[in-house]
């Protein structure tokens, strides 16, 4: 199967309280973006990589891509949008002819290659597959005053990670439909779910955490150094 990888890397990183956007902070002497891309370098069938980033970092991102991917993988860097979803929509416009599209956050540097491959297999079979882990904490649904409305059975709750992998036509249809209806989701699968199409969770690992808060950055540095 021919594959394309989309990396949204255009977040402002408000929760990190740093000047440099998260993907360009260094861990172990290397940018988080580069660490994140490494597990995908030898992925079989990978034809294309598109990174969406803020305008000041277009050149930096292109250099990183060229330094780690072999020449046969087409790479491009584009400007991101206001929300993650807009960044990915922009990236979708660049895709060439591939079967599967992998979307992976720029700030998840610890995904295991075996989990990427397993997720690709499941997406190939069912159309849409998402890496995740069973919820560790009990999750409450609250109202806007923080009063608890519901405690869903934890046995059926999973935390969603990336990569989220889709047949290309399905992801394109989902994004077009979301744009048409002004729907903004916090992940890609939720756009596909709106179409009533199946999305299968694939069990990954807690190590595939997203670097969001300063504490996550500390944890990432510890992991790299061990
Ligand atoms: O904000 P959050 O941590 O959920 O962002 C997940 C990923 O989406 C990050 O890699 C971030 O850089 C990216 N993003 C983006 N465009 C935005 C907002 C976030 O590419 N407008």
Domain boundaries, the chain: 3-224
| For the CA of 9, the nearest atom of ligand 1 | 12
pLDDT for 90: 97
Ligand 1, pocket-test mutation among 6, 9, 11, most atoms within 8 A of CB:
11
The sign one gets for the Cα dihedral 121, 122, 124, 130 is: negative
pTM of the model: 0.96
Fold that domain 3-224 belongs to in CATH: Spore Coat Polysaccharide Biosynthesis Protein SpsA; Chain A (3.90.550)
Q: Are 132 and 160 in contact (CB under 8 A)?
A: yes
pLDDT for 16: 66
| pLDDT, tens digit (0-9, with 9 covering 90-100), for 77-108 | 999 999 999 999 999 999 999 999 999 999 99
Residue 201 pairs with which residues in a beta bridge?
130
Residue 150 pairs with which residues in a beta bridge?
141
Share of residues in the chain with pLDDT > 90 (%): 95
What does the block give as tokens for 64? 């990183």
Please report the ipTM that was assigned to this predicted complex.
0.95
The C-alpha atoms of residue 73 and residue 70 are separated, in whole angstroms, by: 6
pLDDT for 11: 86
| pLDDT, tens digit (0-9, with 9 covering 90-100), for 144-175 | 999 999 999 999 999 999 999 999 999 999 99
pLDDT for 15: 73
State the greatest distance between any 2 C-alpha atoms of the chain, in Å, as a whole number. Answer: 54
| For the CA of 108, the nearest atom of ligand 1 | 10
Give the distance (Å) from ligand 1 centre to CA of residue 160.
15
| For the CA of 106, the nearest atom of ligand 1 | 10
Residue 204, classed as helix, strand or coil, is: coil
Ligand 1, pocket-test mutation among 89, 105, 160, 184, most atoms within 8 A of CB:
105
């Amino acid at each position: 199967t021919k594959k394309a990888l989309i990396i949204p890397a255009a977040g402002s990183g408000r929760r990190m309280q740093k000047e440099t956007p998260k993907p360009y902070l260094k861990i172990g002497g290397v940018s988080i973006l580069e660490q994140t891309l490494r597990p995908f370098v030898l992925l079989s069938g990978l034809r294309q990589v598109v990174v969406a980033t803020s305008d000041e970092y277009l050149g930096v991102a292109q250099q990183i891509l060229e330094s780690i991917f072999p020449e046969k993988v087409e790479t491009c860097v584009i400007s991101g949008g206001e929300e993650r979803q807009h960044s990915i929509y922009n990236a979708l416009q660049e895709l060439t002819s591939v079967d599967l599209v992998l979307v992976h956050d720029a700030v998840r540097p610890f995904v295991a290659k075996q989990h990427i491959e397993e997720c690709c297999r499941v997406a190939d079979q069912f159309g849409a597959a998402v890496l995740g882990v069973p919820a560790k904490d009990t999750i409450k649904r609250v109202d806007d005053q923080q009063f608890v409305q519901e405690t869903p059975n934890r046995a059926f709750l999973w935390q969603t990670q990336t990569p989220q992998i889709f047949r290309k036509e399905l992801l394109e249809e989902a994004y077009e439909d979301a744009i048409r209806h002004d729907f903004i989701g916090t992940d890609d699968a939720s756009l596909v779910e709106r179409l009533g199409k199946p999305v299968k969770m694939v069990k990954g690992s807690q190590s595939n955490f997203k670097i969001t808060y300063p504490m996550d950055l500390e944890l990432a540095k510890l992991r790299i150094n061990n």
